[in-house]
A and B are shown apart, each in its own frame.
Chain A
Amino acid sequence: MAKNETSDKPAQAPLIEPGHTYGSITDKISSVVTTRKTPISWFIGFAIAFSLLMVFLSSTAYLLMKGTGIWGINVPVSWGFAIINFVWWIGIGHAGTLISAILLLLRQEWRTSINRFAEAMTLFAVAAAGMFPLLHMGRPWLFYWLMPYPNTMAMWPQFRSPLVWDVFAVSTYATVSLLFWYVGLVPDFATLRDRVNNRGAKLVYGMLSMGWRGSAIHWYRYETAYLLLAGLATPLVVSVHTVVSFDFAMGVIPGWHATIFPPYFVAGAIYAGFAMVLTLSIPLRKVYGLEDFITMRHLQNMAKVMLATGLIVVYGYMMEIFTAWYSAGEFEEAMISNRFNGPYKWVFYSLLLCNAVAPQFIWFSKVQNSVIGIFIIAMFVNVGMWLERFIIVVTSLSQDFLPSSWDTYTGTIWDWATYAGTIGLFLTLMFLFLRLLPSISIFEMRTMVVEEDKGGKES
């Protein structure tokens, strides 16, 4: 930083610390995978994650034996934790696609070192999200009834229901995300194939790399395919969470039926997703010593995106509250007053603290420069976005139009166990990914070396 050309230029941390070459990048990233020694911290983390996964399996087994009655859902609140967690997880997934696809199209090079594991995060979050609607059906083995296929029962999905659109939106999203992630991995699979000594591992990476030799025509096709997939994935980021918001907004329940919901949900998803990327990348760079690649600038940029999307979410709150009064509808007004004064008011106040107040600290450069500060705010947002979905789902359902049908809702031990279990599922997959695949794109990082050099010389 010392040889900075003009002092006036806003001082920005580099995207990759100086002194790296092609070789050092390849060594550093691939060594995480090719090393024989697995760090003890990995084992500890994996053990915790795997135990939580076992919690998931046992609570699911019990659920299949007993039925959804073991959850806290009741008659007005028929959508409890299952939907809250579904929306929470799927929202988290969105940041991965945003980073890898939209930032690629916007030519934001800083995405390079975080896109790979952000995409992995997307896949695992979608997997965790997918569990909930399946389990909430009560008879998950009949899930294929959701698909429109000719059958002897003459059953056909209700195409006017956004819940059916969800099936298409989420499955398309999962497929494209997987393809996008895999295509991006192919050149790195080849690198690993050439570097591992173990015969079995060589074979597996070799098959996964699909005969990649790095010839010009390979790269040409790769770039085209990657760009096309990025273009495909971009509208999917928007469409999935829009359809999720339609699940609520298409009905006439106060607190759900709001036209702001689609953009507000999409912003909320990206908000939660960036918080999760920060939550994962901060320990990751520390444990594996990847601070050279995931620099302060990455963390700052992500924190800024988090702040921006958080402000859109706050704009949504503001419009909801104003319109509830402006609409002069007594049910809308009652819903808002119920949020502020009702049985869940502490959840609502905590949500405001986490989502509206906490991220405002990112305005200060002192917080922007503090890894711990960013991490703490990201944790607040993770919690806050869960609470937000709780408020949306539960307050509106528990007190709707008819006071005689009102009831309160709390999650049971099984609700919490299933939720914690999906965190286990997510983390287990994440730990396996870190150990078996390059968590930072090796070949894209190599291109950064050239670009950083060029930038330095020209100015």
Chain B
Amino acid sequence: MELSETIKERIEGWQKRALTVGVIAAAVSVAGAFLSPAQFFQSYLVGYLFWIGIAAGSIVILSLHHLVAGGWGFTIQRILESSARTIPLMALLFIPVVLGMKDLFIWARPEVVADDLILQHKAPYLNQTFFVVRALFFFLVWSVLYFFLTKWSADQDKNGDAALSRKLQRFGGPGILLFMITMTFATIDWSMSLDPHWFSTIFGLMFIIGQGLLTLAFATIVVSGLTDDDNLAAFVKKKHFHDLGNLLLAFVSLWAYMSVSQFLIIWSGNLPEEIPWYLHRSHGGWDWLVLFVVIFHFAVPFALLLLRRNKRRANILVKIAFGIALMRLVDLFWVIAPNFHPHGISVHWLDLVAPAGIGGIWLAFFFYNLKGRALLPINDPRLSEAAAHE
């Protein structure tokens, strides 16, 4: 069953709006790039890491869904697929990060490395060529993953071959594995190495959990706007929103668990090579921001998601999911921006415009992908099982 006209029009409307916002914001950002290039690259990186969190995060949530095949997964499967299919765009949007390498990463500046024994030690890993080669490798792996995850599902729409479900299920485990390894190193490269002296073994895992949280929040928001689609209306029940709410609760808790663990261990060790990371982030206004993160990234959504009725009503759950997605951006800003402003908080207008530019263009592509296929994988035999399993 294809999409009905009303649904198609609605998605096209969103696509148009996203594209308008994206193009305007991108144009303004480019102007900003000429005015203050360093600031542009910094703001761009935050925006980029936010949106790739959804694009790449979709791969891992999709793999997880195929592995366990729960009802909640089918409700958002097509959203995750459409989002994973934006990986080529994200690879293209990575070019500005490469162009701004010297502005962003101090290890890319030979004059800094020349005076720094630690950076010389790390040079075999942290150097410009290898950085680009690794990024290409990550995009290659993610492309292979999203390609098969979405292709087999699309094939099944056409030919109804049930064996493809089995293939997808088998793909889930290795898919998660490959994603975890590549994303861990991508996180080290694109985020942790901004402070090249600092290191934390949990950092990659924590980042991935953040991406999973953001992806789930995003998918919840999108699906709630489409529940009147013929396919979805027949399948989606309150229970599925309840499950999505529980998953959000689990990921919020996991994120908080890892954040507290990292903080507690580094605080307690109080070692000169580790503690500056937190010192920079807890002074000069950053302390207020982190308090804001603790309250609105953890305490409030955690409390709200504990309540059953908030999870079973789509209109309430969407508001919570929206708040979580917003707080993901704030948290990323708190993790990334203090590298450039260790002595005090600094918010530039580009910090809003650059993420909006990337986001608008990304969303337009996402909606373009979304309207191309039915919103449920109707030929998947596991779907009817999930529907029967009440």
B284 CB, min distance to chain A CBs, angstroms = 24
The answer to whether B266 and A319 touch across the interface, beta carbons within 8 angstroms, is no
Residues of B within 8 A of A6 (CB): 162, 381
Residues of B within 8 A of A9 (CB): 162, 381, 385
The answer to whether B273 and A259 touch across the interface, beta carbons within 8 angstroms, is no
Given A263-B202, A329-B273, verify A249-B122 contact (CB < 8 Å). no
Check if A257 is an interface residue, CB within 8 A of chain B. Answer: yes
The answer to whether A319 and B204 touch across the interface, beta carbons within 8 angstroms, is yes
A13 CB, min distance to chain B CBs, angstroms = 16
The answer to whether A8 and B381 touch across the interface, beta carbons within 8 angstroms, is yes
Residue of A nearest to B163 (CB): A8
Q: How many Å lie between the Cα of A318 and that of B384 in the bound state?
A: 40
The answer to whether B264 and A246 touch across the interface, beta carbons within 8 angstroms, is yes
Residue of B nearest to A6 (CB): B381
B contacts with A: majority SS: helix
B209 CB, min distance to chain A CBs, angstroms = 9
Q: How many Å lie between the Cα of A458 and that of B388 in the bound state?
A: 8
Within 8 A of A (CB), among B107-146: 117-118, 121-122, 125
Check if B232 is an interface residue, CB within 8 A of chain A. Answer: no
The answer to whether A459 and B388 touch across the interface, beta carbons within 8 angstroms, is yes
Residues of A within 8 A of B385 (CB): 9, 459
Residues of A within 8 A of B117 (CB): 328
Number of A-B residue pairs, CB cutoff 8 Å, is 87
Q: Which of B255-263, B313-321, B344-352 contacts A (4 or more CB under 8 A)?
A: B255-263
Within 8 A of A (CB), among B232-283: 257-258, 261-262, 264-266, 268-269, 271, 273
Check if B165 is an interface residue, CB within 8 A of chain A. Answer: yes
Check if A130 is an interface residue, CB within 8 A of chain B. Answer: no
Q: How many Å lie between the Cα of A261 and that of B265 in the bound state?
A: 9
Q: Quick one: CB contact mask for B156-200 with A, threshold 8 Å, 1 for yes? A: 000001110110010001000100110010001000000000011
Check if A327 is an interface residue, CB within 8 A of chain B. Answer: yes
Given A259-B262, A261-B265, verify A320-B201 contact (CB < 8 Å). yes
B260 CB, min distance to chain A CBs, angstroms = 9
Q: How many Å lie between the Cα of A326 and that of B200 in the bound state?
A: 10
Residues of B within 8 A of A251 (CB): 269
A364 CB, min distance to chain B CBs, angstroms = 12
Q: How many Å lie between the Cα of A323 and that of B202 in the bound state?
A: 10
Check if B203 is an interface residue, CB within 8 A of chain A. Answer: yes
**By CB atoms of chain A within 10 A, which of B121, B169, B273 has the most?**
B121
Residues of B within 8 A of A160 (CB): 268
B273 interface neighbour in A261, A308, A320, A327, Cβ under 8 Å: A327
Q: How many Å lie between the Cα of A242 and that of B271 in the bound state?
A: 21
The answer to whether A257 and B381 touch across the interface, beta carbons within 8 angstroms, is no
Check if A10 is an interface residue, CB within 8 A of chain B. Answer: yes
Check if A424 is an interface residue, CB within 8 A of chain B. Answer: no
Check if B101 is an interface residue, CB within 8 A of chain A. Answer: no
B109 CB, min distance to chain A CBs, angstroms = 18
Q: How many residues in A have their beta carbons less than 8 Å from beta carbons of B?
A: 33
Check if A258 is an interface residue, CB within 8 A of chain B. Answer: yes
Check if A406 is an interface residue, CB within 8 A of chain B. Answer: no
Check if B97 is an interface residue, CB within 8 A of chain A. Answer: no
Q: How many Å lie between the Cα of A6 and that of B163 in the bound state?
A: 11
B177 interface neighbour in A246, A258, A311, A326, Cβ under 8 Å: A311
The answer to whether A257 and B271 touch across the interface, beta carbons within 8 angstroms, is yes
**By CB atoms of chain B within 10 A, which of A10, A238, A251, A311 has the most?**
A10
Q: How many Å lie between the Cα of A337 and that of B385 in the bound state?
A: 52
Q: How many Å lie between the Cα of A328 and that of B385 in the bound state?
A: 53
The answer to whether A259 and B266 touch across the interface, beta carbons within 8 angstroms, is yes
The answer to whether A263 and B264 touch across the interface, beta carbons within 8 angstroms, is no
A110 CB, min distance to chain B CBs, angstroms = 12
Residues of A within 8 A of B261 (CB): 242, 259, 261-263
Check if B23 is an interface residue, CB within 8 A of chain A. Answer: no
Residues of B within 8 A of A260 (CB): 201-202, 205
Given A8-B162, A252-B271, A326-B122, verify A259-B202 contact (CB < 8 Å). yes
Q: How many Å lie between the Cα of A238 and that of B257 in the bound state?
A: 9
The answer to whether B203 and A259 touch across the interface, beta carbons within 8 angstroms, is yes
B122 interface neighbour in A252, A318, A328, Cβ under 8 Å: A328
Q: How many Å lie between the Cα of A311 and that of B176 in the bound state?
A: 11
Q: Quick one: CB contact mask for A302-337 with B, threshold 8 Å, 1 for yes? A: 000000100100011011100100111100000000
Residues of A within 8 A of B163 (CB): 8
Check if A250 is an interface residue, CB within 8 A of chain B. Answer: yes
Residues of B within 8 A of A262 (CB): 202, 257-258, 261, 265
Given A242-B261, A311-B177, verify A259-B200 contact (CB < 8 Å). yes
The answer to whether B199 and A323 touch across the interface, beta carbons within 8 angstroms, is yes
Within 8 A of B (CB), among A215-274: 238, 242, 246, 249-252, 257-263
A318 CB, min distance to chain B CBs, angstroms = 8
Residues of B within 8 A of A326 (CB): 122, 125, 188, 199
The answer to whether B269 and A250 touch across the interface, beta carbons within 8 angstroms, is yes
Residues of B within 8 A of A328 (CB): 117-118, 121-122
Residue of B nearest to A10 (CB): B166
Q: How many Å lie between the Cα of A458 and that of B387 in the bound state?
A: 11
Q: How many Å lie between the Cα of A258 and that of B274 in the bound state?
A: 11
Residue of A nearest to B246 (CB): A105
Q: How many Å lie between the Cα of A263 and that of B125 in the bound state?
A: 26
Residue of B nearest to A318 (CB): B181
Residues of A within 8 A of B202 (CB): 259-260, 262-263
Residues of B within 8 A of A263 (CB): 202, 205, 257-258, 261
Q: How many Å lie between the Cα of A262 and that of B265 in the bound state?
A: 10
Given A319-B184, A319-B201, A323-B199, verify A259-B177 contact (CB < 8 Å). no
Residues of A within 8 A of B201 (CB): 258-261, 316, 319-320, 323
Q: How many Å lie between the Cα of A8 and that of B118 in the bound state?
A: 57
B265 interface neighbour in A246, A311, A318, A459, Cβ under 8 Å: A246
The answer to whether A8 and B271 touch across the interface, beta carbons within 8 angstroms, is no
Residues of A within 8 A of B165 (CB): 8, 10
Q: How many Å lie between the Cα of A6 and that of B160 in the bound state?
A: 13
Q: How many Å lie between the Cα of A263 and that of B201 in the bound state?
A: 11
A268 CB, min distance to chain B CBs, angstroms = 14
The answer to whether A10 and B169 touch across the interface, beta carbons within 8 angstroms, is yes
Residue of A nearest to B306 (CB): A231
Q: How many Å lie between the Cα of A258 and that of B180 in the bound state?
A: 19
A236 CB, min distance to chain B CBs, angstroms = 13
The answer to whether A252 and B162 touch across the interface, beta carbons within 8 angstroms, is no
Q: Quick one: CB contact mask for A335-379 with B, threshold 8 Å, 1 for yes? A: 000000000000000000000000000000000000000000000
Q: How many Å lie between the Cα of A263 and that of B180 in the bound state?
A: 14
**By CB atoms of chain B within 10 A, which of A242, A263, A458 has the most?**
A263
30 contacts between A and B (CB under 8 A): A8-B163, A8-B165, A8-B166, A8-B381, A9-B385, A10-B166, A10-B169, A250-B264, A250-B265, A252-B271, A257-B271, A258-B201, A259-B200, A259-B262, A259-B265, A260-B201, A261-B261, A262-B258, A263-B202, A263-B205, A263-B258, A311-B177, A315-B180, A316-B201, A319-B201, A319-B204, A326-B188, A327-B199, A328-B121, A459-B388
- Known A-B contacts: A9-B385, A259-B200, A320-B201. Give 8 more (CB < 8 A): A9-B381, A10-B166, A252-B271, A257-B265, A262-B257, A326-B125, A326-B188, A459-B384
Shortest 9 CB-CB distances between A and B: which pairs? A8-B162, A260-B201, A259-B202, A262-B261, A250-B268, A319-B201, A328-B121, A259-B262, A259-B200
